[in-house]
A and B are shown apart, each in its own frame.
Chain A
Amino acid sequence: MIRTEGLKFSYPSASEVLRGIDLTIGDEEFVAIMGENGAGKTTLVKTFNGLLLPTSGRVTVDGVNTRESSVAQLSRDVGLVFQNPDHQLFSETVREELAFSLRNFGYGEDTIDRRVTSILETLDLSRYADSSPFVLSGGERKRVALAAVLVWNPKHIILDEPTIGQDYQQKDRLRNFILQLNTQGKTVITITHDVEFVAECKPRLILLSKGLVIGDGPAEDILSDEQLIEKASLARPQIGALMHELRDLGLSDRVIDVYSAEQAILGALGRRR
């Protein structure tokens, strides 16, 4: 469980980025964080693994105050995948990149080899094992960065904008993979601007605006709330927008994905007959 209480954070010589955040994210939850550019989303998740310590208030991870732990210790339980993979990757080969953290955690070479091979397969990266991460495409580097974190099997996984630069097919694959991680018992927290991605996954959605939580609830509730959408610089997902246009015909704009929309429309037609 990740918990923040009265969390405030300021960067030196800048105004307050987080202005008092109280959140509890339970084990095995699937959470998306959205909000305008500069709302404080990335800053918030950096407090979850101790990369940033609160200016005031506190953050606890599984009961441990992040002040009383170290990033090295916290990282075992909280894996953070950065927005820009180039901030994270540095090794000469993809295999080395993935082995790095495991070696630091003191695993034996056999275990390292086994785990690296397995994660490479899972993320469709085996053919790049001996390539430099830097010759890969942006989307592939992003998957390497994800693999480099998943390889040590953290309990809570945080993804900062995982869908940027991914094409539709990869996005689909990524969505299934994230959902799978979640059903395997991982806490998954993802920052995203992609309303369509959220509309399809339907996680708990936390809205951040100007350093404060302004909305927190099921995605379909938040993404149909006109005021919240405006305040957090969101837009309705396409299906939500369509349903909203047709609300006078008895359709609900809480319907935000294609398959629910199909059911809702067939239902409305059925009632008419």
Chain B
Amino acid sequence: MSIIGASNLTFTYAGAPRSSVEDVSLEVSPGEFVVLTGPSGCGKTTVCRCLNGLIPNFYSGDFTGELVVDGMNVKEHTTAELSSHVGLVFQNPENQLFSLSIERDVAFGPENLGLSREETRRRVDWALEVTGITDLKDRPPYELSGGQQQRAAIAAVLAMQPKIIVLDEPTSFLDPKSALEILEVISDLNKKLGITIILVEHRLDLASKHANRVIVMDSGKIVLDGPPKQVYGEQARLIGIGVPRVITLFNLLQKGGLEFSQTPTTVKEAAQELRKMLSR
């Protein structure tokens, strides 16, 4: 039973000359970690907006096909209803945090679900704990570093206890170390809590390690969909996609006549392959 099911999903923003998402059909199973990538303007962000009902509820345009998320047809439910099933985390955490303390920000969602004080308390404590920011709960967001802010934005979404979390380039404003840490936090949510992750990311170097599936979009359509290894193997069709540098390196070495048993997708695998060859 899939947790996200799209069939022939097409959306055209009001006044736009062509559709941003075109005839997309897609099934995602519970607990998957999906990286969604593709060149600017390929429709990634539009897909994210569909998943939590911002499209068609908030953005006007022409919506055809079906999209069912956690058993709910997005055309028949409001974004508010969907928000406790699908959490959306944006690129810039500053756009998402607005309270005078992190704790208040994280409590905002559960309070608005009309949960009891005790339940809200429990969820806030839990979300802060899982994202590792319990000690920052009384601080205002604007005093925190970008990485801490992004953790808070994730905690605020997590407190709604969604089954799916959609993240739209969550690391692009972060320093490299914070970016790696945030990806670990996301990976933990996936592995330990079984939350389905849809991660939009240009920097596949960072994301490949955690994902079980990579979907590549171009001009509103899905052009590749599979495990990272299989997708990165389709060199010819990945023009404009930032495949991990180790793959580029291995392709160069292979062109130069070296033979490897597999093309690695992570630094660790690459190191193992090269070690075999260099210690022969």
For residue B241, CB closer than 8 A to chain A, the reply is: yes
Name the residue of chain A whose CB is nearest to the CB of B208. Answer: A238
For residue B248, CB closer than 8 A to chain A, the reply is: yes
For residue B147, CB closer than 8 A to chain A, the reply is: yes
A139-B40, A169-B39, A272-B278 given; A38·B145 CB < 8 A = yes
For residue B237, CB closer than 8 A to chain A, the reply is: no
For residue B41, CB closer than 8 A to chain A, the reply is: yes
- What separation, in Å, do the CA atoms of A165 and B202 have in the docked complex? 8
Per a CB cutoff under 8 Å, which of B91, B175, B245 touches A258?
A: B245
For residue B5, CB closer than 8 A to chain A, the reply is: no
Chain A: interface residue total (CB-CB under 8 A): 42
Let me know if A37 and B246 touch, CB within 8 A: no
For residue B72, CB closer than 8 A to chain A, the reply is: no
- What separation, in Å, do the CA atoms of A193 and B176 have in the docked complex? 6
Let me know if A168 and B249 touch, CB within 8 A: no
For residue B185, CB closer than 8 A to chain A, the reply is: no
Residue of B40, B173, B240, B277 ringed by the most chain A CB atoms within 10 A: B40
Let me know if A168 and B146 touch, CB within 8 A: no
| A residues 141-169 in Cβ contact with B at 8 Å | 161, 164-169
Contact flags A233-250 to B (C-beta < 8 A → 1, else 0): 111011101100110010
Let me know if B267 and A166 touch, CB within 8 A: no
Chain B: interface residue total (CB-CB under 8 A): 44
Per a CB cutoff under 8 Å, which of B41, B176, B202 touches A168?
A: B202
Let me know if A137 and B41 touch, CB within 8 A: yes
Residues of A within 8 A of B244 (CB): 238
B222 → chain A, closest Cβ, in Å?
Answer: 17
Let me know if A246 and B249 touch, CB within 8 A: no
- What separation, in Å, do the CA atoms of A139 and B147 have in the docked complex? 23
Residues of A within 8 A of B68 (CB): none
- What separation, in Å, do the CA atoms of A140 and B270 have in the docked complex? 35
For residue A35, CB closer than 8 A to chain B, the reply is: yes
Let me know if B252 and A258 touch, CB within 8 A: yes
For residue B192, CB closer than 8 A to chain A, the reply is: no
Q: Which of A19-27, A51-59, A119-127, A261-269 touches B?
A: A261-269
A21 → chain B, closest Cβ, in Å?
Answer: 19
- What separation, in Å, do the CA atoms of A168 and B172 have in the docked complex? 13
Let me know if B178 and A37 touch, CB within 8 A: yes
Let me know if A242 and B278 touch, CB within 8 A: no
Per a CB cutoff under 8 Å, which of B174, B267, B274, B277 touches A238?
A: B267
Per a CB cutoff under 8 Å, which of B40, B146, B180 touches A166?
A: B40
Residues of B within 8 A of A34 (CB): 175
- What separation, in Å, do the CA atoms of A250 and B59 have in the docked complex? 57
- What separation, in Å, do the CA atoms of A36 and B145 have in the docked complex? 8
Let me know if B176 and A234 touch, CB within 8 A: yes
Let me know if A242 and B202 touch, CB within 8 A: no
Residues of A within 8 A of B249 (CB): 239, 242, 258, 261-262, 265
For residue B253, CB closer than 8 A to chain A, the reply is: yes
Name the residue of chain B whose CB is nearest to the CB of A38. Answer: B145
| B residues 240-271 in Cβ contact with A at 8 Å | 240-242, 244-246, 248-249, 252-253, 256, 258, 267-268, 270-271
Name the residue of chain B whose CB is nearest to the CB of A139. Answer: B40
Per a CB cutoff under 8 Å, which of A37, A167, A196 touches B39?
A: A167
A137-B41, A262-B249, A262-B252 given; A238·B271 CB < 8 A = no
For residue B225, CB closer than 8 A to chain A, the reply is: no
- What separation, in Å, do the CA atoms of A272 and B249 have in the docked complex? 20
For residue A129, CB closer than 8 A to chain B, the reply is: no
Residues of B within 8 A of A165 (CB): 40, 91, 169, 172
Let me know if A242 and B242 touch, CB within 8 A: no
For residue A180, CB closer than 8 A to chain B, the reply is: no
Residue of B39, B176, B274, B280 ringed by the most chain A CB atoms within 10 A: B176
Per a CB cutoff under 8 Å, which of A193, A258, A265 touches B179?
A: A193
Name the residue of chain A whose CB is nearest to the CB of B149. Answer: A37
A36-B145, A167-B202 given; A249·B278 CB < 8 A = yes
Residue of A36, A167, A237, A241 ringed by the most chain B CB atoms within 10 A: A167
For residue B125, CB closer than 8 A to chain A, the reply is: no
What are 18 A-B residue pairs whose CB atoms fall within 8 Å in the complex?
A37-B145, A37-B147, A37-B174, A38-B146, A139-B40, A167-B38, A167-B202, A168-B241, A193-B173, A193-B175, A196-B205, A238-B205, A238-B244, A249-B275, A249-B278, A266-B256, A269-B258, A272-B280
Residues of A within 8 A of B (CB): 34-38, 137-140, 161, 164-171, 193, 195-196, 232-235, 237-239, 241-242, 245-246, 249, 258-259, 261-262, 265-266, 268-269, 272
Q: Which 8 A-B pairs have the closest CB atoms?
A: A37-B146, A168-B242, A233-B177, A235-B176, A245-B271, A169-B240, A37-B145, A238-B245
